[in-house]
Amino acid sequence: MGKFKNALDVANERESSTLVDILAPAPVELVAKESRAKEILRSADRAPIDRKRSGKRNDPDYEPITVFVRKATYKKVKMALLEDERNKQAGELIEELLSKWIDERQR
């Protein structure tokens, strides 16, 4: 009975409490939720910031793709890109390699 004594104690404790007592949040939680709700309402009243979206994700000239590359290869690529002084990203490297491949095929 040793294993289940704690579980029985908890069950007996719950039986003596009402459902409202169990489910009711503590006053501290209510205050925190109320202040968070007020904060959200205040921020909704502010005028939205008009930002022009930039970056490749929003550029219609770019198409997101997914490729599968061996982990070891990609790790080596990331290391080489970090060491490269031009601060190139993997996507830029792939773009460059694909462009070169297309140029070679058209010759």
Q: Quick one: pLDDT band at residue 5, thresholds 50, 70, 90?
A: low
Residue-level pLDDT at 43: 72
Q: What secondary structure, in 3-state letters, does the chain show?
A: CHHHHHHHHHHHHHHHCCHHHHHCCCHHHHHHHHHHHHHHHHHHHCCCCCCCCCCHHHCCCCCCCCCCCCHHHHHHHHHHHHHCCCCCCHHHHHHHHHHHHHHHHCC
Res. 98 pLDDT band, cuts 50 70 90: very high
The verdict on pTM exceeding 0.85 is no
| Per-residue exposure over 87-97, b if at least 16 CB sit within 10 Å of its own CB, e if not | eeeeeeeeeee
pLDDT tens-digit series, residues 29-88: 777 778 878 787 777 666 666 667 778 888 899 999 999 999 999 999 999 999 988 888
